[in-house]
């Protein structure tokens, strides 16, 4: 046992870098922004640019599951990252705990099918596809994952800005402390399409949308774990008329340890100075190394917050750092931070 007795024992990721944590790690180690893909926007000559998940190769076996044959890509990404996290935790298949929790975190959710269904509705409602509509519901990915796992009696879907992912991690840790569950998946995911890219463009013409998912598997049992313990998650510093985004970022920063030169900061900056200003100011005094997954993978919203946590925990698991802090300064709700430590560090 260590600090609080809650361990990150499994990691999973699907990102524009590819399927799996190794692909994510390689892309972040290279540090070069991944290539962007043009996506046509109706009525415009100039396309929008996105970073989308490359096709899976080989196609995962679960794609053929009867319930998953017609699902939106976000569900595929959610399931792939969740299964990877459970496998890496040694909690897959027959070793899956009976009491499994699932916290799904989304901002936009199933935008591809929502877009398609609404487009069909506007063209002619009588022919709008009943196959699409259920997949537009925010909790569809969580439902499919729970069904595939066959056992997730505690399942919630949370909405919010990207800092909500850390709230989801706090929920999971709390459930574990209360012994409501024996293991818990926390998944953050988003999809890409022209409509969501257009939304992002409204606020920042040079932002690049990214899609995918990231998953943490939390447990009270450190056996087989990559050796990462959850140390703390700050209160949510919510934006308001009394606390703007910059002040909230600083309030979050004050709740985390100052940090050491050999520690890692994994932040939510996108290499977009105006958007990053609040977070840059809050962490001006950080003494250690920094990693900014969004600047490489794109603005993956909730998925990107999950990638931040995956990247931080993966670095701890291979002993690259004794501790890592994760900072998520969301665009319109809150700033939340977390600290993870290597077991025994």
21-60 binders of other proteins (CB under 8 A)? 41-44
Q: Give the orientation angle of helix 301-317 with respect to helix 164-177, to 10 degrees.
A: 60
Q: Tell me, rounded to whole angstroms, the distance of Cα 164 from its chain centroid.
A: 10
Binding range to other proteins, per CB under 8 A, among 81-89, 118-126, 270-278, 314-322: 118-126
By CB under 8 A, name the one of 14, 91, 158, 335 that touches other proteins: 158
Q: Where in 154-211 does DSSP place strands (E)?
A: 154-159, 183-190, 209-210
Q: In 3-state terms, the chain is what percent helix, strand and coil (to 5)?
A: 40, 25, 40
Distance CA 315, CA 281 (A): 25
Distance CA 194, CA 189 (A): 17
Residue 230 interacting with other proteins (CB under 8 A) = yes
Binding range to other proteins, per CB under 8 A, among 80-88, 199-207, 267-275, 276-284: 199-207
Binding range to other proteins, per CB under 8 A, among 17-25, 56-64, 146-154, 278-286: 146-154
Assigned token pair, 143: 């439902």
Distance CA 313, CA 338 (A): 11
By CB under 8 A, name the one of 14, 39, 140, 185 that touches other proteins: 140
Q: In the bound complex, what is the minimum distance in angstroms from residue 57's beta carbon to other proteins?
A: 27
By CB under 8 A, name the one of 26, 129, 244, 260 that touches other proteins: 129
Distance CA 145, CA 18 (A): 20
Q: Among residues 23 and 49, whose Cβ is nearest to other proteins? A: 49
Give the H or E element holding residue 270.
none
In the sheet with 48-51, reading across from the earlier edge strand, the strands are 37-39, 48-51, 209-210
Residue 128 interacting with other proteins (CB under 8 A) = yes
Residue 234 interacting with other proteins (CB under 8 A) = yes
List the x/- string, 245-264, binding to other proteins by CB under 8 A: ----------x---------
Assigned token pair, 190: 């988003």
By CB under 8 A, name the one of 99, 118, 281, 322 that touches other proteins: 118
Q: Among residues 117 and 283, whose Cβ is nearest to other proteins? A: 117
Binding range to other proteins, per CB under 8 A, among 258-266, 270-278, 287-295, 334-342: 334-342
Residue 184 interacting with other proteins (CB under 8 A) = no
């Amino acid at each position: 046992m260590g600090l609080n007795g809650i361990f990150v024992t499994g990691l999973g990721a699907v990102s524009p870098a590819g399927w799996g944590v190794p692909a994510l790690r390689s892309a972040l180690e290279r540090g070069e922004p991944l290539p962007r893909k043009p996506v046509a926007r109706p009525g415009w000559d100039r396309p929008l640019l996105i970073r989308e998940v490359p096709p899976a190769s080989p196609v995962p076996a679960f794609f053929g599951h009867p319930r998953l044959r017609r699902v939106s890509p976000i569900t595929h990404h959610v399931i792939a990252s969740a299964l990877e996290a459970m496998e890496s935790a040694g909690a897959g298949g027959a070793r899956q705990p009976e009491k499994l929790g699932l916290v799904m975190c989304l901002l936009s959710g199933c935008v591809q099918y929502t877009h398609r269904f609404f487009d069909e509705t506007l063209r002619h409602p009588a022919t709008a596809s009943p196959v699409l509509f259920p997949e537009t519901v925010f909790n569809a990915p969580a439902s499919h994952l729970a069904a595939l796992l066959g056992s997730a009696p505690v399942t919630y879907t949370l909405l919010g800005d990207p800092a909500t992912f850390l709230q989801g991690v706090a929920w999971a840790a709390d459930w574990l402390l209360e012994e409501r569950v024996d293991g818990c998946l926390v998944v953050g995911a988003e999809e890409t399409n022209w409509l969501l890219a257009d939304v992002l463009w409204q606020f920042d013409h040079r932002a690049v949308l990214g899609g995918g998912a990231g998953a943490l598997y939390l447990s009270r049992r450190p056996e087989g774990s990559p050796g990462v313990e959850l140390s703390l998650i700050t209160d949510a510093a919510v934006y308001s008329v009394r606390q703007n985004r910059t002040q909230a970022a600083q309030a979050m920063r004050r709740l985390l340890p100052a940090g050491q030169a050999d520690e890692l900061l994994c932040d939510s900056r996108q290499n977009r100075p105006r958007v990053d200003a609040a977070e840059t100011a809050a962490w001006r005094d950080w003494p250690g190394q920094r990693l900014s997954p969004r600047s490489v993978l794109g603005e993956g919203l909730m998925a990107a917050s999950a990638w931040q946590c995956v990247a931080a925990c993966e670095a701890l698991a291979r002993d690259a750092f004794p501790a890592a802090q994760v900072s998520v300064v969301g665009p319109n709700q809150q700033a939340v931070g977390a600290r993870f430590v290597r077991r025994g560090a």
